[in-house]
Every structure is written in structure tokens, then in C-alpha cells.
Structure 1
Amino acid sequence: MIPSLPRPAWLRASTLAYALLFFAFLFLPLLIVAVFAFNDAPYPAPPWRGFTLDWFLGGSLAGHTSRQGLLADSALLGSLWTSVVVAAWVTVLSVVVGTANAFLIERTQFRGKQALSLLMLAPLVIPGVILGISILAFASRIANLADDLYGLELEFLRPGLPLVVLGQFSYIVSIATLTITARLKRFDTTLEDAAYNLGASHLAVFGTITLPYLQPALMGAAAISFLMSFENFNTTLMLVGSDAPLTVMMYGRMREGATPVLNAVSLFLMVASALLALSLLRGAKKTDARG
């Protein structure tokens, strides 16, 4: 149908109904979680019993109540910090290695380049549970072999945060690579050639021309890497040790019996993730405008 032509009333109504149903499907569960984070009841579901901030402030200095809120739950706050640390490491590794991969794919020619590019995508189609089990089995086998042959105790290959970082990095780096490669593919290499002809060094060209051009993609890759690492559960569950990240901690709490504290955590994460994404998007747009 030509967009400029008027559409029948039934088509406009069905389009509007579809859009409303689609967005309700996406956001209604999030809205319910957000609302019942303030429900004055010991369960995270209807009916509504009144407004309270106990599930955020209960038990803290700001909220004198027998309920334990998010800010007074040291175990939950500790798991939140653990997730931040893991996500930060995964983000740094993914962006650095993803940038190197992007230059390898776009700037070099070698035999087997297509096969290597396809292999980089393999972790994206492997289920997270299978990926976690495979990494755990492989790392444990190497650790046991090092212990048996040389008496070395390689703790970082045992279940724990280093292995969680390695497991998440193994597939998130593929996403970072694709994001940075897409930006690098559109780069005009004649800008670098002109700088070389004027006597600039490779380091100067990279720092003043190539890197600023890649900055929006690097920021986007960092945001995606951080958020994907922070919310990962399947792979993390297979590799975690005694220090549980937030997703694993919340899963354990749900099995014991959910309380509105988990709704409060979810609302906090939704707001924090939205603010992070918006700030990085705004920064990327400013960088693009300056470029």
C-alpha cells in the first residue's frame, strides 16, 4: 500500500490495537513489578494493601521497621556489587578484544578469514547452559591435570568469579566484535592515508582519527556488554562459586519464597539500566555530531 494514500478505518484500528497489545505485552509485567515494590504486604503480588517504602528502606537508618528492605539487606547488596565487578571486567575484556577482532576482520587478509568470522558467531547460537557446562568441564579438566602432573593449584579455573568472567566473555565478545566491526566497515581509510602522508605515526593516527571515529561503537559495545553480563543467569549459574552475582542470588531467594524486596531490586535495576542506556546513547549522539 502506498503510504500517502488514506487507509481504511478497520486497518487503522487494527494497527493501533496491535501496537497497544504489543507494548502491553512488553511493559505491563515491568509495570506490575514496579508498582508492587511499594505494596504494604509480605508478598510481591496482588491485592494492593497500601503504599510503603519498607521494601526499600526497611531496617535501614531511614526506615525503622521489622521488615528488611533492599538498603538493609547486606547479602543482596553484596551480590549487586559482585555483579557490577563481574560486568566491569567482562566489559573491558569484550571491548578490547572486540576492537582487536574488528581490525583483524576488516584490515587484514589471510586464508580462512571467512571461517574465522563464522566461528566468532558460534557462541551466540549455543545455549547458555551448554556453554557454561562446557567451560566448567574444560577448565576443571585443565586444573585437575595441572594438579596431578605439576602440583599446581589453578584456583581461577575452579568455579568462582574468574570463571564466571571467562564464561560470559566467551559469547559477549562476539556481540562487541559485531558492533565495532559494523562501525569500522564504514570508515574512510583515505583519512588515515592522508595523515600518514603528512608524517603522522601509526599511534597518532589511531589516537586522533580512528579511535574518535570508533568511539560511538565502543560506547555502544561497552553498554551492551555491561548490561548483558549483569543480567546473565544461565552461564553464570553453571560457573559460580561461593560469591553469587545478583541474578543467582535472586533465583535462590525466589526458590525460598519471594518477597517485595525482589520487586524493589527489579525496579532499581530497571531504572539504573534505563539511565545507563540513555546516557550512553546521548554521549554517542554527541560524539557523532562532533564527528
Structure 2
Amino acid sequence: MTHTAATAPPFGRALCAMVTPFTASGTLDLDGARRLADRLVTEGCDGLVLNGTTGESPTTSDEEKAALVRAVREAVGERAAIVAGVGTSDTRHTIELTRQAEKAGADGVLVVTPYYSKPPQDAVEAHFREVADASGLPVALYDIPGRTGTRIAPETMLRLADHPRIVAVKDCSYDFLGAQKVIVRTGLAYYAGCDEHNLALYAVGGTGWVSTVANVIPRQVRAVLDAFDAGETARAARLQQRITPLVEAMMAADLPGTVTAKALLGRLGLPGGPVRAPLRPAGREAVGGLLAAYREAVAGAVAEA
């Protein structure tokens, strides 16, 4: 058995939602970003999402966002696609960030639903179309109503699929039926945005994943897709199960994934640095639990190899 997605992957299959490394004093750590990006690509990621939620986009400046894209492009060259998060609650600002990302060397942009103002579906659709019209970059829609307060309804997604530059979706809707409905009826590339759905969405025609957990175990998260593509579906399920405790520890323990990823990266001696306020670092007990789950995931992958 080989995997058949609804369309060819526009940004690769295995994308890491990369943290934005900061120095101990809280400034942007471009050298650390280069080193982290190189490690992620070397360990199996064929795409990197920068300046997303995990990248602390609410607390980085426009200048920092552009500098990060340029630095990572320099580090990875053409070995991986770079997708820049540009979504804001303001259509004009989102367009500005899209054009900035294009100039900085991004291969595509990730555009989240405008948040807080809760626009109706016709306004959501108009927002995405205006952004897609503003540059030559392909666009991935980011559906995460738990954070934005507004869903991209499947019917809206079906209409947006006719835009030539709207090519993908990062799905954090927790509406598995809705996602399948759009996969079946469009050519949009669907990426799981919640690590617990990586294998499940892939199995029904998804394109791959945008993973926060891949910041710390890129090779192990990638191995799930590789096993499925090789027709080893039972092994793919076991590999997904092996990393599930770490997924839970990082993504479902009342701490944002940015906080848990940076806590682990720091303990592993990898670039990450502190989080910016209002986020706060993980406490000692939380870090202990994260490390235990990390060691279990790595040991499980070794045992399965």
C-alpha cells in the first residue's frame, strides 16, 4: 500500500512548526534559529513553518519575522520549504506581512482566520481572497477555531479552493468529518495541525503534518509517515502510539506547545531560549514530566526500529 493524497504536497509532507529561538536576554537568536532549522531538516523535516503560534508570532515584531525567514532560508537553502505565518486580525496588516515574507524568501504563507473580531463567513472568505491576491506566494489556510473564535466552515473552504493560490490547509478544527469532506471534493493539501491526528488524517488522504512535537523528535514523527508510505500500516500505528504520551505531555497539559517545546529544547541543549511574556516558562515538575515522556518516546522508537 502506498499513500495517496488528494494532491501533491505543495510544501512537503513533514513540516515543523518551529519555535523562534531567543537569547537569554529575550532578543531574537538568529544563529540559534539557523542551527535549529538545520537540525530539523537533517532529521527529516522537508518544510518549516516560521512565525506561527508556536513561533510566538503575537510577540515578535514585523522586522523580527522577516529577519527570521531570511536567516532560516540561508541555513536550509532549497533543502526544505519555508512557510511564513502572516495571519493577523487585520487584513491590511496580513497583506503587508505576506508581501514582506515573499521578499524575505518564503515559499508560501500560512494565514490564520482573523481572530477576536469574529467575522462572519463571507468576511472570512473575502479576507483570504484579498491576501491570496496580494502576492505570488501559495497560501495555506489555518483553521483553528479554538484560538481564533471563528471556524473556516467547510462550505467556505470549498469555495476558497477555486482560488489558484489557495493550495493547502493546516487543520486544527477537530472536525474530522468536515476535513474529509473538503479533501474528497477539492485539491487542497490537508496538513494535520494537531499531532494526535497526524496518522489519522494522512490515512484518509491528508498530505502530511505541521507538528509542534517535531521540534524535539523530528525523526520519530517523520517515521510514522514513512512507515505508512511503505505499506507498513500496523507499524505506522505503533510508531504513532509510541509518541502519543509525549504528544499529550506537550500539547494537552495546560501549557502551550511553545512553552513545552522550549522547555525540552533547553534541557536537550538545543536552541530555543526563553519564551516571551505573557507566556511563562514551564515549572520544574512539568519539565520532569516532559523529559520522562521524551525519553519514553525515543526509547520506543529505538525498540521499534
Q: TM-score, normalised by structure 2?
A: 0.29
Q: Which is bigger in relative contact order (C-alpha 8 A, separation at least 6)?
A: 1
Report the structure, 1 or 2, having the larger helix content: 1
Report the structure, 1 or 2, having the larger strand content: 2
Q: Which has the larger radius of gyration?
A: 1
